[in-house]
Amino acid sequence: MGMDSSPPSASPPPKNEWYTNELTNAGLTPVHFFSHGSTMMLGEKSASADYWRKCGAEALERNIKGVVIMGAHWDCLGDKIQVATNPQPAKSPVAYVDPDKYVNYKLNPDLPTAQRCIDMLTQEGFNADGNASFDWIHDVYLILIHMFPNGCPPTTIISMNARYDPHYHMKVGATLRPLRKDNYLLIGTGGAVHNLYRNLWAPMLRFRDNFAQETPPEEWALEFRQAVEDVILKTSGPQLRRAMTRLMKHPRFRDAHATDDHFMAAMFVAGATGDVEDLGASAVMPAEDWELTNMCNSQFTLGAWSKGITA
């Protein structure tokens, strides 16, 4: 018996199909990873704020059903995760911001979608339930006010889990990813480089100047900021999930994040945009603001609106 020279029976995967964004991303909403920075980002003009407003306008043009957002200031103990179900949430107050910038902004909790998220998470094995007394925090409403200055769309807040397991939060994003096919806008709000212990606070405390940059950012901040940009802009699909979770093992991670809370939303975003179906999806970083010398507020969008869909 000679060598079998017949071609393999299984046909090879269609060349380049996975990498053709038009094919893989049709009908999937983009997902944002926003760095909300300090509370002063709520009241000050910035490139980030301009970009947030643009993203909000685009989302409204596409007639989104609502926003589903994970922040950086609400976590649950044990193995629990919660979804905000307070029908009339108050806002946690913030310092260094004129109250006129936020006190009268009307929040719009989306209770039906909250229940839908609880059901999706429970079905996937999460210990998930609603929290009917949770008040909203600036990590979320700072972003909403900039994105949607004329009115808040129906919004659902997903908590973090206080064990800060990157794979857990990635799975939360993966579980809620199907909402992208139903015209929901998923957002993670945290920070690319966000270590409050290593910020230089004096210009903000003395002069209300959060953008003062008397010295360059320190090496560890530049290094980790670059690592985050590289992962988000240069990987996609399951590779994005692996690379994003691995960032928490980066030698500069603990310098860039004294606590894990402001990086969990990045895991959520990787879960929501890191399916095989997302291979080759576009990713952009259209805006960035350094604050307090060492805090890097990078703004990312993963995926893009399908050209064929209009409101």
- Distance between terminal CA atoms of the chain? 64
DSSP for 8-67, please give it. Answer: PSSPPPPTTGGG-HHHHSTTPPPEEEEE--SGGGGTS--HHHHHHHHHHHHHHHTT-SEE
* Exposed/middle/buried for residue 50 (C-beta within 10 Å: 0-12, 13-18, 19+): middle
Beta partners for residue 34, in sequence order? 189
Would you say 139 or 278 has its CB closer to Fe ion?
Answer: 139
Would you say 153 or 190 has its CB closer to Fe ion?
Answer: 190
Q: Shortest Cβ distance from residue 131 to Fe ion (Å)?
A: 19
Would you say 94 or 279 has its CB closer to Fe ion?
Answer: 94
Would you say 72 or 248 has its CB closer to Fe ion?
Answer: 72
Looking at residue 40, its amino acid is M
Would you say 39 or 236 has its CB closer to Fe ion?
Answer: 39
Residue 16 is encoded by which pair of tokens? 């380049």
Closest to 48 (Cα-Cα) out of 295, 253, 209, 286: 286
Q: Shortest Cβ distance from residue 116 to Fe ion (Å)?
A: 27
Q: Shortest Cβ distance from residue 42 to Fe ion (Å)?
A: 11
Give CA–CA dist 160/235, Å, rounded.
24
Would you say 64 or 292 has its CB closer to Fe ion?
Answer: 292
Residue 252 is encoded by which pair of tokens? 């500069």
Assign residue 292 a region: left if phi > 0, alpha if psi is -120 to 50, beta otherwise? Answer: left
Residue pair 204/299 in contact (Cβ under 8 Å)? The answer is no
Would you say 142 or 302 has its CB closer to Fe ion?
Answer: 142
Binding residues for Fe ion, rule: CB under 5 A, are 72, 139
Q: Shortest Cβ distance from residue 96 to Fe ion (Å)?
A: 13
Q: Shortest Cβ distance from residue 139 to Fe ion (Å)?
A: 5
Q: Shortest Cβ distance from residue 120 to Fe ion (Å)?
A: 26
Closest to 269 (Cα-Cα) out of 187, 168, 148: 187
Q: Shortest Cβ distance from residue 92 to Fe ion (Å)?
A: 11
Would you say 34 or 126 has its CB closer to Fe ion?
Answer: 34
Give CA–CA dist 190/224, Å, rounded.
15
Determine phi and psi for 95, rounding to 5 degrees. Answer: -90, 160
Closest to 158 (Cα-Cα) out of 125, 109, 195, 90: 109
Q: Shortest Cβ distance from residue 169 to Fe ion (Å)?
A: 16
